[in-house]
Amino acid sequence: MITKINNVSIYDGRGQVLLNSSIIFNEQMILAVGEETIDEEIDVVIDGKGLSCLPGMIDMHVHLNMDATPDPAALINKDNEAMAAYRSLNNAQKHLRAGITTVRNCGSKYNVDITLREAILEGMFIGPRIFAAGQPIVMTGGHCHYFAIEADGENEVRKAARTQIKNGADVLKLMATGGGLTPGVKPGASQLSESEMHAACTEACHAGKTTAAHAQGNEGIKNAIRAGVTTIEHGVYLDDEAIRLMLEHGTYLVATLAAPYNVIRHGVEAGIPAYAVDKNKEASVPHQESFQLAYTSGVKIATGTDAGTPFNFHGDFVTELEIMEKLGMSVQEIIQAATFTAAEALGFEDMIGSLEVGKLSDIVLVKGEISENISNLRNVHSVFMNGKSIDL
């Protein structure tokens, strides 16, 4: 089936806008954009007047088995395997309905995200493309140890990396520092060492996979970059040297600004553990300053939310984008970070992330002009996944 959208504003994901334009696609791929035409007959024509069209968005940091409840650790410890799987499916579909056609799941207990990816690929359920980490790899007692593989020393970390690759992970999640949502660990403190993470990155590289390092403290961030990780998650305490290393290594920043924003906004009154609120409050200003330093220095930025953390709801991608705009990015830059740059960080930019001929037809229509107001991305009109309209 061939679909054409007419009279629409096209945001192509690579910084270009085509006003009053058109796009043609079938169930495999995009066939024409802008002035281009095709010889075959069009089956469905959609009038795109008043709508904006962009590539399916990509959330680079979600936890599908967390539910944005005040205390994610309590939920994870309570759920059995089946409940974690149902919860993950339910949350995955929230992303798709919000126009997020691809998510990278940065850690789940029981590897449920890997299994869910397979169930969706088999056609059992409608859902977004999932790039799954499964269980993170952490030092003994490290950040999120309650759902991770604990490994110490290069050999154990290498074994854990190989195990996750064998289990079907697309990306290896490594904990380079402590974090806000694990009691007793300091966000600034280094955890896995550079050599331990290097062992995991080498295995990922051999297997054609990527790596993501949870890295808040400055030394842990630098350890992770030097070890060769693909993306730095959070990046709370960046300095000039960290920026220089990121530029040198081509490391991406996935800032997840919405995570501390929501923790601080709701606070202990909403039931968030005091240790989490205190740690997030302490990190909030340096986090935003680090983001601005990375952006102005030209570090590659890919958008991720940490959805599933307290009051950080699955599918509420736009809160992150609104914060990025407040911190100085232009609408075009934000769209690119949420589409093409994210696809690049997944190593999948030949297939998704922009509206170009030959790319998979993951396409979103929203009401209103995005350049006039980024919040218009909340007003989803329709979502096409593989060229098929999703029932919202």
Build a one-symbol-per-residue string for 202-241: x at contacts with Zn ion by CB under 5 A, - elsewhere.
----------------------------------------
Query: Looking at beta carbons only, is 58 or 331 nearer to Zn ion?
Result: 58
Residue facing Zn ion at closest CB distance? 306
Query: Looking at beta carbons only, is 55 or 178 nearer to Zn ion?
Result: 178
Build a one-symbol-per-residue string for 297-316: x at contacts with Zn ion by CB under 5 A, - elsewhere.
---------x----------
Shortest Å, Cβ 139 to Zn ion: 17
Query: Looking at beta carbons only, is 251 or 312 nearer to Zn ion?
Result: 312
Backbone phi and psi for residue 2, each to the nearest 5 degrees, phi listed first: -110, 130
Q: Using CB under 5 A, which of the segments 23-31, 51-59, 102-110, 370-378 binds Zn ion?
A: 102-110
- 50 near 295, Cβ under 8 Å? no
Instruction: Return the closest-CA partner of residue 131 out of 160, 159, 164.
Output: 164
Measured CA to CA, the distance from residue 91 to residue 108 in angstroms comes to 13
**Strand order in 129-132's β-sheet?**
57-62, 100-105, 129-132
Shortest Å, Cβ 43 to Zn ion: 41
Does the footprint of Zn ion cover residue 59 (CB under 5 A)?
A: no
Shortest Å, Cβ 107 to Zn ion: 6
Cα–Cα separations (whole angstroms), residue 283 to 89, 121, 179, 187: 32, 39, 10, 8
Instruction: Return the closest-CA partner of residue 169 out of 113, 128, 125, 123.
Output: 113
Shortest Å, Cβ 42 to Zn ion: 43
**Strand order in 300-301's β-sheet?**
149-150, 137-138, 171-175, 210-215, 231-234, 252-254, 300-301
Measured CA to CA, the distance from residue 71 to residue 310 in angstroms comes to 7
Shortest Å, Cβ 314 to Zn ion: 13
Query: Looking at beta carbons only, is 306 or 362 nearer to Zn ion?
Result: 306
Q: Using CB under 5 A, which of the segments 37-45, 101-109, 273-281, 319-327 binds Zn ion?
A: 101-109
Query: Looking at beta carbons only, is 84 or 106 nearer to Zn ion?
Result: 106
Shortest Å, Cβ 309 to Zn ion: 7
Does the footprint of Zn ion cover residue 113 (CB under 5 A)?
A: no
Q: Using CB under 5 A, which of the segments 95-103, 106-114, 183-191, 332-340 binds Zn ion?
A: 106-114
Instruction: Return the closest-CA partner of residue 224 out of 247, 245, 203.
Output: 245
Query: Looking at beta carbons only, is 10 or 106 nearer to Zn ion?
Result: 106
Shortest Å, Cβ 144 to Zn ion: 8
Query: Looking at beta carbons only, is 147 or 295 nearer to Zn ion?
Result: 147
Measured CA to CA, the distance from residue 283 to residue 179 in angstroms comes to 10
Shortest Å, Cβ 195 to Zn ion: 24
Query: Looking at beta carbons only, is 4 or 279 nearer to Zn ion?
Result: 279
Q: How many residues would you count in the chain?
A: 392
Measured CA to CA, the distance from residue 194 to residue 206 in angstroms comes to 18
Shortest Å, Cβ 321 to Zn ion: 18
Please give the size of the binding site for Zn ion, defined by CB under 5 A. Answer: 2
Query: Looking at beta carbons only, is 60 or 294 nearer to Zn ion?
Result: 60
Query: Looking at beta carbons only, is 11 or 131 nearer to Zn ion?
Result: 131
Shortest Å, Cβ 87 to Zn ion: 16
Residues in contact with Zn ion by CB under 5 A are 106, 306
